[in-house]
Amino acid sequence: MTLRRHLLLAAAMAGLSSPVRAQAPARLDRLVVAGWSKPITEVVPLLVDADKGFYRAQGITLEYVPGAGGGDAVRNLLGGQADVAFTDPGSFFAALDKGEKLRAIYDIYPQNVFNVVSLRRSGIRQPADLKGKRIGVYSLASGTRQNLQVLLHQVGLSEADVTVVVTGLLNFAPLLQGQVDATAATDTGLAIGRRRGIGEVDVMEVGRFLNVSSDLYVVREETYQRRKDLLRRFLRAYRDSAAWMIAQPAEAARLAALRAIDASDPALALEIIQLRNAATVSDRTRREGLGALDVATLQRAADVYRQLGLVQRPIDISQVVAGDLLPGH
């Protein structure tokens, strides 16, 4: 089955084939999502409610709090600025390790989208070649840094063997300018870099070593216990919005131009949306629906993070994820 057919099947399983037409309730419940980024094309499913009404149809008025990495999203969640965090597993694990009471309730991107990129002329071809090199990351609180550590671990290296340089989201400019020898990024970051002329590169995909989810929806345990109805409605709305983006990528790209801060290039916006659509589905989501959580893979990731020393305590994933709020449960 082709990727396109997989994506269309995922949309069909999510139960959405046309724009939302349901009448929104008179009273809307406010729900705030803390993101890892500014309102960019990648998070279009959270930005288009004025146009599509997915959240209003579930009785929700949705707000988005930007961040600079998954750690920011968790901090905003724990600080009371948000009800739900859009964050990476590493930031989730780090908070659990500190004793925070959290639950993962939805797998946004079950595919690992992180990579480490070097210019072809640098001669950096494989993880072992990173020893002694300067490597860019989005921020110290981002999944790029944590996935870099995972990649280094595969060849017996650690952060002590490299120099980590914070470069921000547009980190291919420092690579081209020679400020770093390689840069940790995502598939969409690489797409942007290629559009801007980075030239020939070598790409080390972290998913070849650990294909764990890139991002999850995480809530405080108290919120999970006390606001299940609201969270169920939110996940239903998000699932519908994600399925719409899968089924209608061109429309999603058009709306990104209106709602996202980085969508001035329509062709690039469409490419980013297609990459995110691909990351949204997996064998499990094809069987169980969008958002299905893979406990075994998350447990493997938590164990790797402990081996890396990124967390100190063992984490029992079965106790900190919950699939009962997913649509259909």
pLDDT score recorded for residue 27: 87
Q: Cβ(101)–Cβ(221) under 8 Å?
A: yes
pTM for this model (two decimals):
0.88
pLDDT score recorded for residue 203: 96
Q: Cβ(47)–Cβ(64) under 8 Å?
A: yes
Upper half-sphere CA count for residue 246 (Cβ side, 13 Å): 28
pLDDT score recorded for residue 329: 73
| DSSP, residue by residue, 112-176 | --EEEEEEGGGT--SGGGGTT-EEEES-TTSHHHHHHHHHHHTTT--GGGSEEEE--S-THHHHH
pLDDT along the chain (329 residues), means of 10: 50 45 71 96 97 98 94 96 96 96 98 95 95 93 88 92 88 88 93 89 93 96 98 98 98 97 92 96 95 96 91 97 92
Burial call 273-304: b when 16+ CB within 10 Å, e when fewer:
bbbbbbbbbbebbbebbbbbbbeebbbebbeb
| Cα dihedral across residues 141, 214, 126, 200: positive or negative | negative
pLDDT score recorded for residue 143: 83
pLDDT score recorded for residue 14: 47
Given the DSSP bridges, would you call strands 60-65 and 29-34 parallel, antiparallel or unpaired?
Answer: parallel
Which residues belong to CATH 3.40.190.10 in the chain? Answer: 3-111+212-319, 114-208
**Which CATH superfamily does the domain covering 114-208 fall into?**
Periplasmic binding protein-like II (3.40.190.10)
pLDDT score recorded for residue 20: 47
Q: Report the amino acid identity of residue 165.
A: V
Q: What is the CATH number of domain 3-111+212-319?
A: 3.40.190.10
Distance CA 258, CA 264 (A): 9
Q: Judging by beta carbons within 10 Å of its beta carbon (0-12, 13-18, 19+), is residue 194 exposed, middle or buried?
A: middle
pLDDT score recorded for residue 24: 52
